[in-house]
Amino acid sequence: MVRSEGETPTLDQVARLAGVSKATASRAVNGGARVSPQAQAAVDDAVRRLGFIPNAAARSLVTRRTGSVGLIVPESDERIFSDPFFARMLHVVTRSVKAHDLQLVLLLTQPGKEEQRLMRYLRGRCVDGVVVASHHRGDRLAESLADLGLPTVFIGSPWTSTDRVSIVESDGIGAGRQAARLLIDRGCRAIGTIAGPADMHAGHDRLEGWRQELSEAGLAVDAVVHGDFTEAGGARACGVLLDEFPGIDGIFAASDLMAAGAVRELAARGRRVPEDVALVGYDDLGTAEQTDPPLTTFRNPIGAMATEAIRLLAQWIDEGPGEPPRRIVFAPELVRRASA
């Protein structure tokens, strides 16, 4: 069969060259259902020789697959594009999706009407599955996605329906305990914390671990101010801590951005780090190395979490749910620098 230069090959041409019916050629091109090995090989050879490109829409109708997955980030645009956590996560997710020959669709949303619009989009099966990163106590994403039956993996634990979705997370409680223990071992006895938002599990868990360790050491756990995971929020929270607890000699900040704000506020008040106030952060995504002094912190295993989340999602899409939803926990790594 001779094809004119510039001519787009058709499915009819593929079928004739392969010596099969058009229906068989269509099934072979779009998933191989009910096609003999001999016919599949003939169609594959015809596709290669003709340079035929299957129609993606037709393929999805047959396979019920889109070849794409969604990354849901229920945060404001300002936070997504300013927080290094999201930059690192998006980089790793994009790389991991490519490794599984999938296309990434970024889905930014906020609770309320935007969440309802997101669920209408997902009910149309526009993606084969989703990863959800960052979530708040008031959202219903876990319940809605579980009810929908869409393959879903959460990076970080949602507040509800934790037994119905797969979860990949870091050990925030363990990190909070280690941070408090490090400050105690240093000799600090009036230890405060700049906690994350109370409506996020990341903030809750790091605070809970800090409280547990201090309580077991017989130390007070009332020096708590919540921040918003931003540098400005960390500076404000540190100011409140210093006003309410002037004798404070150690601080655990639940993110490096908030710790950087604390460094700035401490310097403005003439408090030296670590001589007067020892400081520990969390994330190690670049900010910790740039403060003066550099931050002792915990390395957030976001790379490992994002890679594992995409692996679990791709496996679910390819093989079906199989076993019950999984929960995989990664341990943050302590990185010692000058602030503590």
Q: What percent of the chain has pLDDT over 90?
A: 68
Task: Give the pLDDT confidence of 251-298 residue by residue, as tens digits.
Answer: 999 999 999 999 999 999 999 999 999 999 999 999 999 999 999 999
Give the model's pLDDT for residue 2.
Answer: 44
- The full set of domains in the chain, from first to last, is 11-63 (1.10.260.40), 68-171+303-333 (3.40.50.2300), 173-299 (3.40.50.2300)
| Amino acid letter, residue 305 | M
DSSP secondary structure, 206-248, as one string: HHHHHHHHHHHTT-----EEE--SSHHHHHHHHHHHHHH-TT-
Give the model's pLDDT for residue 72.
Answer: 94
Closest CA to 288 of 242, 234, 330: 234
Task: Give the pLDDT confidence of 314-340 residue by residue, as tens digits.
Answer: 999 888 777 788 999 999 999 999 999
Task: Give the pLDDT confidence of 28-61 residue by residue, as tens digits.
Answer: 887 666 788 899 899 989 988 888 876 654 554 4
Are the CB atoms for 193 and 253 separated by under 8 Å?
yes
Query: Is 4's pLDDT higher than 80?
Result: no
Q: Where are the alpha helices (DSSP H) in the chain?
A: 11-18, 22-29, 37-50, 56-63, 77-80, 84-99, 113-123, 141-148, 172-186, 201-216, 231-244, 256-268, 302-319
Give the model's pLDDT for residue 61.
Answer: 45
CA atoms within 13 A of residue 192's CA, in its CB half-sphere: 23
Give the model's pLDDT for residue 56.
Answer: 53
Task: Give the pLDDT confidence of 192-224 residue by residue, as tens digits.
Answer: 999 999 999 999 999 999 999 999 999 999 999
Task: Give the pLDDT confidence of 77-112 residue by residue, as tens digits.
Answer: 788 888 899 999 999 999 999 999 899 999 988 766
Query: Is 228's pLDDT higher than 90?
Result: yes
Can you tell me the mean pLDDT for 136-157? 90
Is pLDDT larger for residue 152 or for residue 62?
A: 152
Are the CB atoms for 252 and 297 separated by under 8 Å?
no
Give the model's pLDDT for residue 64.
Answer: 60
The gap from C-alpha 32 to its chain's centroid, in whole angstroms, comes to 34
Radius of gyration of the chain (CA): 26
Are the CB atoms for 23 and 35 separated by under 8 Å?
no
Is pLDDT larger for residue 234 or for residue 109?
A: 234
In degrees and rounded to multiples of 5, residue 191 shows phi and psi of: -110, 125
